[in-house]
Structure 1
Amino acid sequence: MEENNSFDFSNVWRIIKRYLKWLIIFPIAGLILSVLLTALIAQPKYEATSQVLIEKSDKGDLTMAEKYQADSQIVATYTDIAKSPRVLGKVAEEIGKDEDAKSITEKVEVNNQPNSQVLNFTATANSEKDAVKIADTAAEVLKEEVNAISPDGGIEILSKSKDDVKEISSSIAKNAFIGLVAGFIIAVILILIREFLNQSKSSSKSNTHQTQHTQQRRRTKREDLTQDDFER
């Protein structure tokens, strides 16, 4: 058993040494190709964030705990309104460009930090201009809707998204790793195929040689028998 295991390991190591260049070149080629494709094909994305401030409850007859709970409920309610099809549908109408509530939902993220009265509208688009417009429009529409529902809604635009725009870098590192792994897998597959073909070819030659050797022995045997008969 130990000899077989040693033999198998030695055989694997022999194959690795034989195809070491493949195991290096293919992964590097996959890495370089994935990086180039990411840089040339992937479109840049821009992210813009607009903020609205929700004023705290001014009811004097509430305790601190009750005010905190009331403020938290207001923030949660306004967040739900901001994500509603009604608001996002109006945002889509103002943006145009064949946008609808569903497409705007995929481009806008509404969130707020714990214990904060600030709602963040973060929009992602293929251009800086579109990202800014979507984020600002979403904030403005929310303000209009809240004021329409409750005139003393207490919501104000805190900051425009033009002050907070950034380009989202493409996932070059992630794609490079994928290309590296893909190149290694391709190298292993090609090595296995080549080894299989080599073994098949070697086995075929061995069988052919064995057949020829057997035929030669038979001819020799027949010649010997014929010679014996002749001598008799």
Structure 2
Amino acid sequence: MESEQTISVMQIIGILRKHIKAIFGTTIVVTIAAIFLTFFVMTPKYSATTQILVNRKLSDDMQSAQFQQVQADVQMISTYKDIITSPTVLRDVNKQVSGYPGYPGSMSALKDSLSISNSQNSQVFSVTAKSTDAGTAAAIANSTAKVFKKKVVKIMSVNNVSIVSEAATNTKPVSPRKTLNILIGLVLGVILGIALAFIRELTDRTVTTESFLTDDLGLTSLGTVTEIDQKDIEKTVEHKKLQTKLNENNSARNHRRV
């Protein structure tokens, strides 16, 4: 069992060595393609985040229920996440940012550009907007937070939302992630090169060893024909021509002496 495994591993190593140039070539081509796509095709995207606090203020005689109210506010965040991405809120936001550069293009695309997150048991949640323009990303995030703050009062009949921090313009793109894309291209190139090497080897029907004929196919070997390099053939022909001339010259000399 061990010998079979060793032979299998050696065969794999042999195939990789045999096609090492093709593997390197494929890796280089795919990596260059990844670099080209990352730097010249993919459009950079920017993000901006605003933070919203959910906290209902209680009167002095209800301070004992403060803990229960905090828990209720935390649970309300799940509902607020649905409201903030609803048409009721996004319709107004869409009107405000539709003329901005890098505008997503539609209300559906505007919804896809937004992401909402919060830490566990935290009363603060974040609204992050992405756009191909850094200023527009900040404008979308801030507009969404402000419209939501106004709408939630009418929808929920509560006034427990306040904006903790407004989104600022961040000129550092969040995508594409250049280093990651290049590494992915490099890994994919290696994998593709290895896959092509094995496919090429498995589809190759050329007989390369005598043992394949005798051991695998059970045929009788009658002999082998060695491959001769063309240069060796030319040298042999030239050598024979030269030898023939020398023999002819020697014969002529011997004839004269006689």
TM-score under structure 2 normalisation? 0.63
Structure 2 CA distance for partners of 1:13 and 1:190, relative to 1, 3 Å: closer
Structure 2 CA distance for partners of 1:190 and 1:145, relative to 1, 3 Å: same
Unpaired runs of at least 5, structure 1? 211-232
Shift of 1:77: 3.7
SS at 2:90's partner residue? helix
Shift of 1:72: 2.3
2:128 corresponds to 1:126 = no
Structure 2 CA distance for partners of 1:200 and 1:139, relative to 1, 3 Å: same
Residues 80-89 or 15-24, more deviating: 15-24
Q: In structure 1, what is the equivalent of residue 68 of structure 2?
A: 66
Give the conservation status (yes or no) of the 8 Å contact 1:54–1:156: yes
Unpaired runs of at least 5, structure 2? 214-221, 223-258
Considering only aligned residues, what root-mean-square deviation do their CA atoms show, in Å?
Answer: 3.6
Higher helix proportion (structure 1 or 2): 1
Shift of 1:82: 1.4
SS at 1:162's partner residue? coil
Distance 2:179 2:105 in 1: 32
2:185 corresponds to 1:179 = yes
Q: In structure 2, what is the equivalent of residue 21 of structure 1?
A: 21
Q: In structure 2, what is the equivalent of residue 81 of structure 1?
A: 83
Shift of 1:51: 2.2
SS at 1:168's partner residue? coil
Shift of 1:153: 0.8
Shift of 1:8: 6.0
Distance 1:10 1:152 in 2: 72
Distance 1:6 1:160 in 2: 63
The count of aligned residue pairs is 207
Structure 2 CA distance for partners of 1:164 and 1:55, relative to 1, 3 Å: farther
| 1:122-175, Cα deviation, whole Å (9 max, x unpaired) | 001111122011111101111221244467614333222126664204233443
Q: Work out which of the residue numbers 149, 158, 161 in structure 2 matches 1:155.
A: 161
Distance 2:78 2:146 in 1: 18
Structure 2 CA distance for partners of 1:6 and 1:80, relative to 1, 3 Å: closer
Q: In structure 2, what is the equivalent of residue 33 of structure 1?
A: 33
Residues 140-149 or 151-160, more deviating: 151-160
Q: In structure 2, what is the equivalent of residue 214 of structure 1?
A: none
Partner AA of 2:49 in structure 1: T
SS at 1:161's partner residue? coil
Structure 2 CA distance for partners of 1:39 and 1:70, relative to 1, 3 Å: same
Q: Work out which of the residue numbers 105, 118, 125 in structure 2 matches 1:112.
A: 118
| 1:186-212, Cα deviation, whole Å (9 max, x unpaired) | 454256437745607999xx9xxx9xx
Residues 126-135 or 146-155, more deviating: 146-155
Give the conservation status (yes or no) of the 8 Å contact 2:24–2:193: no
Structure 2 CA distance for partners of 1:169 and 1:74, relative to 1, 3 Å: closer
Distance 2:201 2:156 in 1: 75
Q: Indicate the percent of aligned positions where both proteins have the same amino acid.
A: 26
Partner AA of 1:36 in structure 2: F
Give the conservation status (yes or no) of the 8 Å contact 1:47–1:122: yes
Q: In structure 2, what is the equivalent of residue 51 of structure 1?
A: 51
TM-score under structure 1 normalisation? 0.69
